[in-house]
Amino acid sequence: DSGVTQTPKHLITATGQRVTLRCSPRSGDLSVYWYQQSLDQGLQFLIQYYNGEERAKGNILERFSAQQFPDLHSELNLSSLELGDSALYFCASSVGGSTNEKLFFGSGTQLSVL
Amino acid sequence: AQKVTQAQTEISVVEKEDVTLDCVYETRDTTYYLFWYKQPPSGELVFLIRRNSFDEQNEISGRYSWNFQKSTSSFNFTITASQVVDSAVYFCALRPPETSGSRLTFGEGTQLTVNP
C-alpha cells in the first residue's frame, strides 16, 4: 500500500459529461502529480501541485483542470468528455517535489467514456 | 527534451530464467535521476529503484540488479531466477532537475510474462 488514495476506482460515463477524480496524498507529502495512462499515449504527465499551487504542467488538455486544497488532497476535473479520454488516471505524491524524490502512486481511477 | 525508450514491448520467459529489460534514455541535462517502476496486473505502480546520474555503481537487491552506463545512456534491469510473481509491466523513467520541470518521463513499458 503506497499510502496514496484515489477515488473512485472505476468510473463509467458518457461523452460530453464531466467527472471529478479525487486523490489523497501520503501523510506529510506536499506534492501531488497527475498522470494519464492510455494504450496509445502510454504514461503521460498531466500536472503537478505543490502545497496548493500549480508547479508544473504537462500534456493536459484545456478541458481538464486540477486543484490542490488546503488539506492537500487534489481533484482532477475532466469535462466535455470524449471517447479518447478513456484511460487510467494515476495520482502520485512526494514529500516536496525535488528531483531525487521517488513518487508514490495510487491505484488509479479507470475512466471509461462510452 | 527528455525521452525514454524501452525497445522490448513484450518478453516471455520460463520460470527460473534470467531476464534483462533494456532502457535507453535521452537528455541534455547533466544531473538527472532514473527510476524503474513495476505495474503488476492489479494496476498500481510500484517503485523499484532510483539512481542518480552521478552514481554509476551497479546495484543488486535480492534477485534484482541494475546496470547504469552513462556512456551509452542505458539503465538496464535484470531479474535473476525469474518467478511467476515477476509477471508485470516494467517502466523505466527519467526525471530531470527542477529547473527543467522535474516531471517523470516514462518509457513505453515492457510486458514481462514469466511462465511456470
Give B100's pLDDT tier (boundaries 50, 70, 90): low
Given a cut of 60, whether residue B101 has pLDDT beyond it is: no
* Rounded CA separation A55/A104 (Å): 18
Interatomic CA distance for residues B103 and A34, integer angstroms: 10
Q: B62 and B80 in contact (C-beta within 8 Å)? A: no
**Mean confidence (pLDDT) of chain B:** 91
How far apart are alpha carbons B116 and B114 in whole angstroms? 7
Helix/strand/coil for B99: helix
Give the pLDDT confidence of A88-108 residue by residue, as tens digits: 999 999 988 777 788 899 999
Question: pLDDT tens digits for A36-93?
Answer: 999 888 999 999 999 999 988 988 999 999 999 999 999 999 999 999 999 999 999 9
CA gap B34, B95 in Å, rounded: 6
Contact B31 A99 (CB under 8 A): yes
Residues of A with CB under 8 A from a CB of B: 2, 33, 35, 42-43, 45, 48, 55-56, 58, 88, 90, 92, 97-100, 102-108, 110
- Confidence at B102, pLDDT banded by 50, 70, 90: low
- DSSP 3-state assignment of B61? strand
Task: Taking residues B46-72, report their average pLDDT.
Answer: 88
Instruction: State the burial class of residue A25 (Cβ atoms within 10 Å of its Cβ: 0-12, 13-18, 19+).
Output: buried
Q: Which residue of A has its CA nearest to B110?
A: A42
Contact residues, chain A, for B101 at CB < 8 Å:
56
Please tell me which residue, B101 or A71, carries the higher pLDDT value.
A71
- Let me know: does B47 contact B95? Beta carbons within 8 Å: no
Contact: A107, B98; criterion CB under 8 Å: no
Question: Residue A73: which of A20, A107, A32 has the closest Cα?
Answer: A32
Q: How far apart are CA A72 and CA A26, in angstroms?
A: 10
Q: What are phi and psi of B72, to 5 degrees?
A: -110, 10
Nearest to B109 among A35, A42, A97 (CB): A42
Condensed to tens digits (0 to 9), the pLDDT of residues B71-98 reads: 999 999 999 999 999 999 999 999 887 6
B102–A56: do the CB atoms touch at under 8 Å?
yes
